[in-house]
Chains A and B, each alone.
Chain A
């Protein structure tokens, strides 16, 4: 069953792209204005932002696309969850657990695995992320705990767990630094083009986006996800869809994608487990997913855009002495402008009604 007529679909996409473009330009204009007001050299800062992101082949491959990889994967994690009306704010924790699980396996057996090392690391990371999200799924379906709250709590628990691991069981042998040893070279993701830092994880991320796009559009499971997200009550009654089951599956898939992001970050970029292996990818992912209109293919574009923003922010800090953290303000402005321009209205209704209890199937609004 195709939900959209082709013409409407194209118009919808064009409108979405137009809105996203307007929002991005407006946010950058705001940044420029804010820098001017702060008495900084705004033109130089924006030039540094460009140079550090798209300005050269090296910047594009070794900074922007490397940075985009975890953002695309966590962006997909958020997008698929929000599509189903599941508020997974926990991609960051799921990413951390994915990285920690992959690191544990790599440090324990990595040298003996040979060519199986990389697939195994990615698989274990994926499972780790899914398992972490699974906690939220059980809490929601069995105990009626809202996933908005549980996934946020699980982020902090994951952060402290990794903090403990890199100072305890997984700490490097000298016990001088809060980090693990380096994983064996068999487990390092190879570079796509030698001489750059761009690794095959980027290809995995893009492939995951295409697969998810196809799966949501063309499979029965994808239809269930969209139906539950559009109207859980109608999906249950008219579509005979098991809503808690679909919710659980979506949370597991979402966690799996975020966990994969963690494993890829470990095997492709850091090669060791650090407490701050994620500079908040899972939170930025929310902006990535929203700007893409929760469209999987769109997430590739917005993931690259946010990768560019974060890569450029670092060069802005180096070259123009503008704190890199201002890019967080730009991200926030992006989301707020998007809220002002498009219709993201009252979407949390269906979810929040379940605050009332585990089996609340009452109509949301009969008043």
Chain B
């Protein structure tokens, strides 16, 4: 029983990691007033980039190429949605199609249709000394691969950056009142570019984590809707990095329930678990009906 529970919690944190990475990047982006539906494509590009980068045998280059791939897709999005003031939803949809097509074609072109035999290095878990010995939570939180620790660090740093620095204030101003921000001397479009590029790199790392820390390989469409869930997580987390971290863990737990049920020997169709995060998203979003969520006022508006 305890073993199953620990396994479930450990799996929750592991599943939550790429979601949290992508969602923390998207928080910045949305705080600057941009909704990037293309996050799904960014994660996919990051995953493919990680495969290419790690193909040479180096994990570091895997994560780097993954991050750069995500950044490139985000730059394309920014070119259209920020510089050319195109509609954000339509641009995002097009970017997703592009990433899906490009990664699919390149994967088949570079590795053949049966690239399953590819072996790439993967990150093992990296137990932190002392902390792992904390009862129950120790092994759950501190016996994880490196990207998870990056998430632990990134959430508070991002919170501090957004709420306690001049740059964070500038970003939030752009998301709320871009015209006023401009009058105050803030380069509104430049901040949208900066946050999009940073968010793209985070999304790329999220994709790289899927490949290098979880699946151990690439498959077409491996992102499997995580980009969309990350966008929902941003809403649930109230556009706040700490809230986003908690919401990601909840989603990780929902996905990991499948392992718990398997461990307990309960026979439930696995599609139910696959659908659960999406159902939960809808229920949770509907649950906000009563109270006002503080969305950035200029979210989705071209400037």
Contact = CB atoms under 8 A, between A and B. Distances in A.
B297 interface: yes
A345 B89 contact: no
A339 B269 contact: no
Nearest to A165: B271
B289 A89 contact: no
A175 B177 CA distance: 59
B215 interface: no
Interface in A281-304: 283, 286-287, 290
Interface string B263-303: 00000010110110011011001101100111101111110
A157 B97 contact: no
Contact of B274 (A160, A287, A367): A160
Interface stretch (B5-13, B98-106, B129-137): B98-106
Contact of A168 (B93, B178, B269): B269
A331 B101 CA distance: 9
B84 A339 contact: yes
Interface string A351-367: 11101111000001101
B231 to A, nearest CB: 7
Contacts of B228: 149, 152-153, 156
B302 A346 contact: yes
Contacts of A357: 292-293
A99 interface: no
B232 A164 contact: no
B104 A143 contact: no
B295 A355 contact: yes
Contacts of B102: 329
A89 B275 CA distance: 18
Contacts of B286: 139, 142-143, 145
Contact of B94 (A167, A326, A339): A339
Given A149-B281, A323-B105, A323-B108, A89 B86 contact: no
Interface in A309-350: 323, 325-333, 335-336, 339-340, 344-349
A336 B98 contact: yes
Contacts of B100: 325, 328
Interface string A155-176: 0110011011001100000000
Interface in B72-108: 76, 80, 84-91, 93-98, 100-102, 104-105, 108
A17 interface: no
A135 B283 CA distance: 11
B99 to A, nearest CB: 8
A105 interface: no
Nearest to B229: A153
B241 to A, nearest CB: 18
A356 B295 contact: yes
Nearest to B103: A325
B138 to A, nearest CB: 34
Contacts of B279: 153, 157
B235 interface: yes
A192 B302 CA distance: 48
Contact residues of A: prevailing secondary structure: helix
A153 B101 contact: no
A26 interface: no
A332 B98 contact: yes
A237 interface: no
A332 B281 CA distance: 28
Q: How big is chain B's contact interface, by range?
A: 35 or more
A144 B180 contact: no
The size bracket of the interface on A is 35 or more
A156 B278 contact: yes
Nearest to A139: B286
A89 to B, nearest CB: 7
A89 B94 CA distance: 12
A238 interface: no
Nearest to B81: A339
B64 interface: no
A148 B89 contact: yes
Contact of A329 (B105, B272, B289, B294): B105
A230 B98 CA distance: 29
B109 interface: yes
Given A149-B228, A328-B101, A290 B297 contact: no
Nearest to A142: B289
Given A336-B80, A356-B295, A164 B101 contact: no
Given A160-B271, A352-B35, A286 B90 contact: yes
Contacts of B297: 353, 356
Contact of A328 (B35, B97, B109, B281): B97
Given A332-B94, A347-B87, A355-B235, A143 B289 contact: yes
A351 B300 contact: yes
B291 to A, nearest CB: 8
A328 B98 CA distance: 7
B282 to A, nearest CB: 5
Contact of A325 (B87, B101, B231, B294): B101
A339 B35 contact: no
Contacts of B56: none
19 contacts: A38-B109, A145-B282, A149-B228, A149-B285, A156-B228, A160-B278, A164-B271, A167-B269, A283-B93, A323-B104, A323-B108, A326-B105, A328-B100, A332-B97, A332-B98, A333-B98, A352-B35, A353-B299, A355-B295
Given A143-B286, A149-B235, 10 more contacts: A149-B232, A153-B278, A154-B282, A160-B274, A328-B98, A336-B91, A336-B94, A339-B94, A348-B300, A355-B293
